[in-house]
Homo-oligomer: A and B are copies of this chain.
Amino acid sequence: MMKVALSVLLLLVTLSSTLGKYIPKSGKRIPQTLSRGWGDQLIWAQTYEEGLYWSRSKTKPLMVIFHLEDCPHSKALKKIFSEDNEIQKMLDEDFIVLNLVYETTDKHLSPDGQYVPRIIFVDPSMTVRADIIGPYSNRMYAYEPADIKILLDNMKKAKKLLRSEL
């Protein structure tokens, strides 16, 4: 009797372990990454608060990328951006990075409106670098794939930190 109970127990244990992990009805999903394709090798902050914290404590400028996964302009920029080793290396070594698909409540991050793609730099002194702009006067923080060199120059500007008032 004991033996039967043990066998049943074993069977149950085996069954439950072979049933495996939860899979949605719609089929297995690819886990979302924090990079969302903007650089899988970079260490991404998850939220703006986290980005600001790391920027201050590591004294590195923060780059905030606003984008949408189904926006063709965002996608085109992302491709060039993620494949540009100079940009990726500089970001990895000298910047804190954050990409957002949802706007924050902080209006300083949309100096001339909310649009995507939009790249905003924030100094470790927690000052939004509204002075670091791309080539378009109507959307000052937008970049096209062809503007990647301008973006690189802007990153170099952002690396020259503002004088902290602390």
Chain B residues, CB < 8 A from A34: 31-34, 46
A53-B102, A83-B21 known; A43-B32 Cβ under 8 A = yes
Chain B residues, CB < 8 A from A35: 31-32
Chain B residues, CB < 8 A from A47: 46-48, 100, 102, 104
Is A88 an interface position by the 8 A CB rule?
yes
Cβ contact within 8 Å between A21 and B41: yes
Binding site of A, secondary structure by majority: helix, strand, loop or mixed? loop
The stretch from A22-30, A70-78, A134-142 touching chain B is A22-30
| Contact pick for A22, options B22, B24, B41, CB 8 Å | B41
Cβ contact within 8 Å between B22 and A102: no
Tell me, rounded to whole Å, the shortest Cβ–Cβ distance linking A44 to chain B: 6
Interface residues of A in 9-57 (CB under 8 A from B): 19, 21-24, 28-29, 31-35, 39-41, 43-44, 46-50, 53
Chain B residues, CB < 8 A from A102: 46-47, 49-50, 53
Query: How many residues of chain A get a CB closer than 8 Å to chain B's CBs?
Result: 35
Tell me, rounded to whole Å, the shortest Cβ–Cβ distance linking A40 to chain B: 4
> Other CB < 8 Å A-B pairs besides A46-B101, A47-B100, A53-B102, 18 of them?
A19-B85, A21-B41, A22-B41, A23-B41, A28-B41, A29-B40, A29-B43, A31-B33, A31-B35, A32-B33, A32-B34, A34-B34, A46-B47, A46-B102, A47-B102, A47-B104, A49-B104, A49-B105
Residues of A within 8 A of B (CB): 19, 21-24, 28-29, 31-35, 39-41, 43-44, 46-50, 53, 82-83, 85, 88-89, 92, 100-105
